[in-house]
């Protein structure tokens, strides 16, 4: 939508309809608008689960030719992993829900949010990949009509990853000092096709222990999950404390750490 004259903003509510973001028409042209200094999600990967909506932030600087007023210019960021942003606009992309810019005569700093709803925005686990960025620019004429528009591909990229979880259970509880303690757990990650968490097989996790009365976890051993994501190992119980599994991010999946499971050693 067109903005007021004290600045400009783009606001799109709810799940975005692709029809509202079709490729530039015959009016497509070099608008003269430039976008620079894009920072996506504060430089971090975007982690998405199975149902909760995610709103990654971004900032960039936009400039426009001296013959234009700021209120004549709209910019919207989109992420895509198709060949071009125009094709992505037709087949699926991650779009801006809010862009707000400071006032400026020929340039302004902008900030905003993207919108990701895993129930609609992501429909394949192959979406866990590197997404490219572009800005959709529209120039309005004095009567409020669309004068020209274009997509500006930008160089920054961001990884979109599947959220992960891990559980832990240490038994028996209590356990005799010097006795054997079995620690199990399971690694799962978001499946954007099934919209549920499924086993993450073959992932290695660290088994860590924090002695009661201390604040630091130490790694005891590293265990590889089986084909269904299950973890299991045996350790010697020596002191009261907390046991947990933890693992880091991969190229497609976020990391996770279980809450500590306290075991009393008699």
pLDDT tens digits for 163-188?
A: 999 999 999 999 999 999 999 999 99
Residue 111 lies in a domain: yes
Q: Point out the domain boundary residue: 161, 188, 216.
A: 161
- For 228, which DSSP code? T
Q: Point out the domain boundary residue: 161, 178, 193.
A: 161
Looking at the fold, whether 172 and 124 belong to one and the same domain comes out as no
| 68-97: burial string, b at 16+ Cβ within 10 Å, e else | bebebbbbbbbbbbeeebbebbeebbbbbb
Smallest CA-to-CA distance from 265 within 244, 238, 233 is with 238
pLDDT tens digits for 56-89?
A: 999 999 999 998 999 999 999 999 987 777 776 5
Residue 2 lies in a domain: no
What is the reported pLDDT for 73?
95
What is the reported pLDDT for 89?
59
Looking at the fold, whether 143 and 216 belong to one and the same domain comes out as no
Contacts of 17 (CB under 8 A, 6+ apart): none
With beta carbons less than 8 A apart as the criterion, state whether 252 and 81 touch: no
Residue with tokens 């976020």: 254
Smallest CA-to-CA distance from 104 within 62, 148, 75 is with 62
- Residue-range definition of the domain harbouring residue 70: 8-161
Looking at the fold, whether 145 and 203 belong to one and the same domain comes out as no
Q: Point out the domain boundary residue: 133, 161, 189.
A: 161
> What whole-number distance in Å separates Cα of residue 112 and Cα of residue 48?
18
What is the reported pLDDT for 11?
37
What CATH number should be reported for the domain holding residue 232? 2.60.40.730
The total domain count for the chain is 2
Looking at the fold, whether 144 and 173 belong to one and the same domain comes out as no
Looking at the fold, whether 189 and 139 belong to one and the same domain comes out as no
């Amino acid at each position: 939508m067109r903005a007021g004259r004290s600045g400009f903003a783009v606001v799109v509510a709810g799940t975005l309809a692709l029809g509202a973001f079709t490729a530039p028409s015959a009016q497509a042209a070099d608008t003269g608008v430039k976008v620079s200094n894009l920072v996506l999600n504060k430089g971090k990967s975007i982690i998405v689960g199975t149902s909760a909506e995610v709103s990654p932030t971004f900032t960039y600087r936009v400039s426009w030719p001296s013959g234009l007023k700021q209120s004549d210019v709209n910019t919207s960021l989109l992420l895509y992993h198709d060949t071009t942003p125009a094709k992505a606009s037709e087949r699926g992309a991650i779009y801006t829900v809010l862009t707000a810019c400071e006032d400026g005569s020929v340039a302004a700093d902008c900030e905003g949010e993207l919108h990701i709803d895993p129930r609609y925005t992501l429909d394949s686990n192959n979406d866990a990949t590197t997404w490219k960025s572009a800005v959709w620019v529209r120039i309005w004429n004095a009567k409020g009509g669309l004068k020209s528009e274009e997509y500006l591909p930008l160089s920054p990229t961001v990884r979109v990853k599947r959220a992960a979880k891990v559980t832990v259970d240490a038994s028996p509880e209590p356990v005799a000092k010097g006795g054997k303690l079995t620690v199990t757990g399971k690694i799962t990650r978001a499946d954007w096709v099934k919209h549920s968490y499924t086993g993450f097989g073959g992932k290695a996790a660290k088994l860590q222990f924090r002695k009661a009365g201390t604040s630091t976890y130490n790694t005891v051993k590293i265990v590889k999950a089986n084909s269904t994501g299950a973890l299991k190992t045996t350790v010697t119980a020596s002191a009261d404390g907390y046991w947990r599994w933890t693992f880091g991010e991969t190229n497609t999946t976020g990391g996770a750490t279980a809450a500590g499971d306290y075991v009393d050693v008699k």
